[in-house]
């Protein structure tokens, strides 16, 4: 079975550039979550979707971050413009419902220079 | 807001020794989940506890949910090098999101 697929696995870019992270959830899962992980702040929930609708985006740091889920099999997290403090590992996870166990992708390791 | 605290932050044990990590919530939880993240990997779901006082076992791992549903623990008996990683609890209260604890990083010395 295919798990949650994220791309790219690694991204290195200069500050000010636009960064787009992609996620394909497990087929049939109706909840999708974006997390950010750093040594200082641990694992933080940025936003989550139920049935493609954003439910809670209170974790999104600021207006430079945006997320979309145009259909049940695809989501993007965009940072524009990027800053060095955005450097982190970004995980996407999906589940059958908000209360169900979450399945994480391998993450995108983002470095902003 | 809801907070989930986890202790200790780090734990070094000799292979064969036991290990326990504790999770405490500021509010009553509807359920608690435990995840393991290997170095360089992603969190992997281990188990979910729902009932007050619930105890579940997975081989050498024992998970417990407190009677008040505000705390939980994970105990590993006779650690092995394969147990290395960071263990996260994640609590969910009512209709809230899943709040991940700060994690306990376990190092096992062979």
Q: What is the pLDDT of residues A57-84, one digit of tens each?
A: 888 988 999 999 999 999 999 999 999 9
CB contacts, 8 Å: A105 with chain B: 42
- Looking at residue A1, what is its pLDDT? 64
- Looking at residue B88, what is its pLDDT? 96
Q: Which two tokens stand for residue A45?
A: 């929930």
Q: Is the pLDDT of residue B96 over 70?
A: no
Cβ neighbour number for residue A75 with a 10 Å cutoff? 25
- Looking at residue B55, what is its pLDDT? 98
Each residue's pLDDT tens digit, B12-38: 999 999 999 999 998 899 999 999 999
Q: How far apart are the first and last CA of chain A?
A: 36
Q: Is the pLDDT of residue B95 over 70?
A: no
Phi and psi at B81, nearest 5°, equal -60, -25
- Please tell me the distance in Å from B31's CA to the nearest CA on chain A: 8
CB contacts, 8 Å: B102 with chain A: 42
Chain B, nearest residue to A45 by Cα: B99
A interface mutation test: which of B47, B97, B102 has the most A CBs within 10 A?
A: B97
Q: Does the distance separating the beta carbons of B92 and A91 come in below 8 Å?
A: no
A85 vs A66: CA distance, rounded Å = 16
The residue behind tokens 């907070």 is: B3
- Looking at residue B64, what is its pLDDT? 98
- Between A50 and A99, residue with greater pLDDT: A50
Q: Exposed (0-12), middle (13-18) or buried (19+): which is B107, by Cβ within 10 Å?
A: middle
Q: Exposed (0-12), middle (13-18) or buried (19+): which is A59, by Cβ within 10 Å?
A: middle
A25 vs A52: CA distance, rounded Å = 11
Q: Is the pLDDT of residue B1 over 70?
A: no
A48 vs A74: CA distance, rounded Å = 13
Reduced to 3 states (helix: H, G, I; strand: E, B; else coil), residue A27 is: coil
Question: pLDDT category, A56, cuts 50, 70, 90?
Answer: confident
CA angle A108, B104, B18 (to 5 degrees): 135
Question: Average pLDDT in the A12-37 region?
Answer: 96
Residues near A3 by beta carbon (within 8 Å), at least 6 away in sequence = A26, A103, A105
């Amino acid at each position: 079975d295919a798990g949650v697929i994220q791309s790219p696995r690694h991204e290195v870019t200069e500050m000010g550039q636009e960064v787009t992270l992609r996620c394909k959830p497990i087929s049939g899962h109706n909840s999708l979550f974006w997390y950010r992980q750093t040594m200082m702040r641990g694992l933080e929930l940025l936003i989550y979707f139920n049935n493609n609708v954003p439910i809670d985006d209170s974790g999104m740091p600021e207006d430079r971050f945006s997320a979309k889920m145009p259909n049940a099999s695809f989501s993007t997290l965009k940072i524009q413009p990027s800053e060095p403090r955005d450097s982190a590992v970004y995980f996407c996870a999906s589940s059958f419902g908000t209360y169900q166990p979450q399945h994480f992708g391998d993450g995108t390791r983002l470095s902003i220079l | 807001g809801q907070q989930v605290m986890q202790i200790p932050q780090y734990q070094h044990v000799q292979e064969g020794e036991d290990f326990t990590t504790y999770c405490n919530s500021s509010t009553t939880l509807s359920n608690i989940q435990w995840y393991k993240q290997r170095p360089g990997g992603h969190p992997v779901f281990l188990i979910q506890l729902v009932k007050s006082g619930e105890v579940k076992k997975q081989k050498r791992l024992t998970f417990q949910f407190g009677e008040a549903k505000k705390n939980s623990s994970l105990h590993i008996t006779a650690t092995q090098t394969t147990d290395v990683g960071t263990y996260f609890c994640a609590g969910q209260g009512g209709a809230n999101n899943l709040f991940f604890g700060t994690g306990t990083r376990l190092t096992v010395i062979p």
